[in-house]
Amino acid sequence: MRKVVVLLLALFAVQLGAQDMTHYKRIVKELSSARYQGRGYAHGGANKAGKYLERQYRKAGADEVVLQPFTIDINTFPGKMAMWADGKKLKAGVDFSMREYSPGVHGEFPVYHVDTLNFDADSMFADLAKPEYANALVCCDFWFAYRHKEAFGRLQKAGECTNAGLIQTWTSPIKFYKAYGEKVVDKPIVWVTPEAIEGVKSVRLDVDNEFLPGYGLFNVIAKVAGERHDSCYVFTAHYDHLGNLGRKVYYAGANDNASGTAALVTLAAYYAKNRPAYDMYFLSVSGEDANLRGSEYFAQHPIFPLEQIKYLFNLDMIGDNNPVQYCEVSDPGMRGFALFEQINSEQHYFQALNRGELAANSDHYPFASRGVPCIFLENEDGDAFPWYHTIYDTWKNAVFDSYEPVFKLVCDFIARY
């Protein structure tokens, strides 16, 4: 009889795990659907996703759910998005994309291909002064331009040179580097795959942009009350993504960051059913792809003292299958990192935890810079990682291997910290 009871309990535990994964996948699929248009700003997708998360937290059993509004200035590409190279039409999001701070551009332009093997900035500017290159788009590899950013920075400013803008090549799959810029520069910058622009003499562009000053966004903050209220744990994940590249193309963002966002909802459901010792806050932030604006706003306007945070977990792009888990840890968080490593060593959730240098690359940073103990968990360099910031980061290409080990790792940590 005892064996039967143990077996039934084991089967029940497996069933709960399966239900969690089912719940998790359902949220990832929903957030990466066309309904939210990449959870960006041009068509209100981010805010639609935020309202969906508000409902999901309430269904999960959260005791409180509040919305924290803030505003940003943001550049978007909601309209025309077309490019032709020597008469051949290129595909938006496949052959080309726009830099986030680029203005719109309309017209036909000669292409000036930079001699990167024998580069001389003065010779380039002399060439661009010739009549045949008047109003040209200057083309070279992105990383080459980055290494010579003083010269190429001049090419981005009105009045410095007669060029119309820049074309920078990036190997396929073409990326949308960031979501949108908080400003618009003088001249357009177009990212193109090398094969799409090689040997091309002229291009035609028909691209609209729209700058949105004071655009309203909001963080979604859910609370599961614990037995004690003098300290708390915080989970963060950004739910916004890259949004649209014109009317027809959107970036679904299944891994970045529907994967981390969905985990916050299932963690809230878990702690609503298994009451914690301390209050738990689940901070779904917007504006991450616009320079961490949502998390920075919360850090400046917290709804509880930041000093009460025992530990903060930032889950960003955990939908992958690398057996090594990447992480970054704040200086105050290092006193807990040994426990993370101990738990992982005991439970074999990952082959290793690869700790990188702390950087302003996700929503943990505004808290880390204010002395909050925190860890950033991101499963990178797996099968899903090549689709990062491309149109191929979709539900169809979603990977779920790291969700359960991340879930268990942080829950075990909280139970023992």
The answer to whether 266 and 53 have CB atoms below 8 angstroms apart is: no
Residue type, 238: H
Residues whose CB is less than 8 angstroms from the CB of residue 316 and which lie 6 or more positions away in sequence, other chains included: 237, 238, 256, 257, 260, 288, 362, 363, 376, 377, 378
% of the chain with per-residue pLDDT over 70: 95
Instruction: Look at residue 337 and tell me whether its pLDDT is greater than 90.
Output: yes
Give yes or no for residue 3 having a pLDDT over 50.
no
Residue 11 has pLDDT above 60, yes or no: no
Give 221-272 pLDDT, tens digit per residue: 999 999 999 999 999 999 999 999 999 999 999 999 999 999 999 999 999 9
Three-class secondary structure of residue 291 per DSSP: coil
Predicted TM-score (pTM) above 0.85 = yes
Cβ atoms of 190 and 206 within 8 Å: the answer is no
User: From CA 236, how far away is CA 263, in angstroms rounded?
Assistant: 10
Dihedral-angle region of residue 93 (phi above 0 means left; psi in -120 to 50 means alpha; beta otherwise): left
* Side-chain half-sphere exposure of 152, counting CA atoms within 13 A: 21
Provide the token pair at 243. Answer: 């949004």
pLDDT recorded at residue 179: 59
- Per-residue pLDDT, 177: 72
Q: Can you list the alpha helix ranges (DSSP code H) found in 242-362?
A: 260-273, 293-300, 334-347
Element (H, E) at 82: strand 81-85
Work out the pLDDT band at 176, boundaries 50, 70, 90.
confident
Contact 295, 288 (CB under 8 A): yes
Q: Quick check: helix, strand or coil at residue 50?
A: helix
Q: Which residue has the higher pLDDT, 313 or 11?
A: 313
Q: Is the pLDDT at 119 greater than 90, yes or no?
A: yes
Contact (CB, 8 A) for 297 and 355:
no
* From 18-22, 200-204, 322-326, the region with the lowest mean pLDDT: 18-22
Q: What pLDDT shows up at residue 160?
A: 86
User: Which pLDDT does position 16 carry in this prediction?
Assistant: 44
Task: Report angle CA 218, 222, 227 to the nearest 5 degrees.
Answer: 150
Question: What pLDDT sits at residue 178?
Answer: 65
pLDDT of residue 9: 39
Q: Which two tokens stand for residue 189?
A: 């910058």
Q: What does the pLDDT read at residue 20?
A: 86
Average pLDDT, the chain: 93
pLDDT digits (tens, 9 = 90+) for 32-91: 999 999 999 989 999 999 999 999 999 999 999 999 999 999 999 999 999 999 999 999
Integer angstrom CA distances of residue 365 from 73, 77, 231, 293, 302: 21, 28, 20, 11, 15
Domains located in the chain, CATH noted: 21-74+213-416 (3.40.630.10), 81-207 (3.50.30.30)
Q: Judge whether residue 12 has pLDDT over 90.
A: no
Q: Which two tokens stand for residue 385?
A: 């990682």
Residue 10 has pLDDT above 50, yes or no: no
Q: Give me the mean pLDDT over the 349-356 stretch.
A: 97
Give the pLDDT band (50/70/90) at residue 159. confident
